[in-house]
Amino acid sequence: MANVLTPDICVIGAGSGGLSVAAAAAAFGVDVVLIEKGLMGGDCLNYGCVPSKALIAAGKAAQANVKGEKFGVHAGTPPTIEFAEANDHVRNVIAAIEPHDSQERFEGLGVTVLRDEARFTAPDTVVSGETEIKARRFVVATGSSALVPPIPGLDGVPYLTNETLFELREKPDHLVIIGGGPIGLEMAQAHRRLGAKVTVFEAAKALGKDDAELAGVVLAQLKSDGVEILEETGVEAVSETDAGVTVKGKTKSGEEIEVSASHLLVAAGRRPNVDNLGLEQAGIDFDRRGIKVDKGLRTTNRKVYAIGDVAGGLQFTHVAGYQAGLVIRSILFRLPIAMNDDVVPWVTYTSPELGHVGLSEADALKKHGDKIKVLTAEYDRNDRALAEGETIGKLKLIAGPGGRLLGADIVGAQAGEIVNLLSLAVSKKMAMKDLAGFISPYPTLGELVRRAAISYYADAPKNVWVRRAIGLLRKFG
């Protein structure tokens, strides 16, 4: 090798998790090498969270124009939509964030950045281009890519994934989406609101990982927006036509369905980026779900950690960031760490939004039986929601023994912001008395949390012992 580096930490992958590890280690004066073969910022900045939320915002702007009539605002229906300008907004948002994730910034922090592929050649050695890196510890944070299912004919037609979707400058006439998970439905609603016809194929239940009742509220809204959602309908074959593609599906009952469209988006899940990393040479076990790690995020090679999507588990940018913080504690301070999935929140950014944290109602029932209480608050009884015209929604709090908050699900406007509070409450093991006792400014949607928590004590006025205690105290004047 022409160049040999011996840093304290070598990070492979400059996405959310890798950047967080590199920045934190460098802040403590630790020697770090960061390797990235693609774009700095990884999937989230360039193909995932950032561009998708920017496009969703464009769709919301179009919908706001339509919804304005109920407030007495008549701006013209339907609105005039310039799809290329919506794409410009996506590009501009990425460009605004890029400097924070750039090679220049990280080199300014003292990180050595290599822009090439990385491959283990031994348990303690990685090669990148002409450079050999022998580090005390390694962190693999290579993320994931769109899973392309083995559908007959798919390899012979033009199709989009999240890596190419945001390059579109012209509105699709008819977008077919394979996959009814969060990514598929977010993009379905955004494109529908920007004027495209949209059909979604989902082999199982759409939003199947979320609370079924609250997910149903989201699906009803998408259908009201004009999105066609074909649940329990597997895709049997795809073929190219002069106008685009034809997708053939079959329902659970055996009915055959054929849809022709101008564009096809594959959003059928993710696969970990483990190819060509030389994991075998490093003694690192992995399978189709990703690199195998223990609770401390260490691989079968004790010198190597894996974080983010490549480690399997929950695939969210904030999970990668959370795991990066744990790894820093372990590597720099030798503190014991343990990944806790139970405190990880997630949000689907449709309108209405759908959020979750902690145990689901079903999981809480399995674990605690009849010791749980499900407390609810409806958006249409919240004053701010009424003022904003956002009355579709519901909050569920799962209270366990002693009133401790075990989990929460929410559907409605700004659900993602409300989940912030609930995530803190779950992680700090708060109880209903804490959530009922905090002061929420009026009028806000956050009052939903307090209203639901107060309902935990709804039977207290009927309790005979409480009434007797009040009566006794009254005798003292």
Position 477 scores a pLDDT of 75
Average of per-residue pLDDT across 112-120:
98
The alpha carbon of 461 is separated from its chain's Cα centroid by a whole number of angstroms, namely 42
* pLDDT over 80 (residue 298): yes
* pLDDT over 60 (residue 101): yes
Element (H, E) at 373: strand 373-378
What tens digit of pLDDT does each residue of 178-215 get?
999 999 999 999 999 999 999 999 999 999 999 999 99
What tens digit of pLDDT does each residue of 412-441 get?
999 999 999 999 999 999 999 999 999 999
DSSP H helical ranges for 289-414: 317-333, 361-368, 383-388
Phi and psi of 79, rounded to 5°?
-70, 160
Q: Indicate whether 364 and 432 sit together in one domain.
A: yes
Distance CA 300, CA 290 (A): 13
Q: How many CB atoms lie within 10 A of CB 286?
A: 21
Q: Indicate whether 10 and 105 sit together in one domain.
A: yes
CA dihedral sign, ordered 288, 290, 294, 298: positive
Residue 473 in domain: no
Distance CA 427, CA 368 (A): 18
Phi and psi of 311, rounded to 5°?
-90, 10
* pLDDT over 60 (residue 340): yes
Residue 476 in domain: no
What tens digit of pLDDT does each residue of 122-172 get?
999 999 999 999 999 999 999 999 999 999 999 999 999 999 999 999 999
Residue 186 in domain: yes
Q: Is 15 left (phi over 0), alpha (psi -120 to 50) or beta?
A: beta
Average of per-residue pLDDT across 358-376:
95
Residue 385 in domain: yes
Model confidence at 257, in pLDDT bands (50, 70, 90)?
very high
State how many domains the chain has: 3
Q: Indicate whether 358 and 322 sit together in one domain.
A: no
Residue 205 in domain: yes
Q: Are 325 and 310 in contact (CB under 8 A)?
A: no
Q: What share of the chain in percent tops pLDDT 90? A: 91
Position 446 scores a pLDDT of 96
Is pLDDT larger for residue 25 or for residue 76?
A: 25
Average of per-residue pLDDT across 264-286:
97
Distance CA 363, CA 343 (A): 14
Q: Indicate whether 113 and 235 sit together in one domain.
A: no
Q: Indicate whether 138 and 275 sit together in one domain.
A: yes
Q: Indicate whether 11 and 123 sit together in one domain.
A: yes
Q: Which of 21, 12, 15 is nearest to 49 (CA)?
A: 15
Q: Tell which of 305, 321, 341 closes a domain.
A: 341
What tens digit of pLDDT does each residue of 311-336 get?
999 999 999 999 999 999 999 999 99
Residue 472 in domain: no
* pLDDT over 90 (residue 72): no
Residue 117 in domain: yes
Element (H, E) at 24: helix 16-27
Position 1 scores a pLDDT of 57
* pLDDT over 90 (residue 14): yes
Average pLDDT along the chain: 95
Containing domain of residue 410, as a range?
352-459
Distance CA 284, CA 286 (A): 7
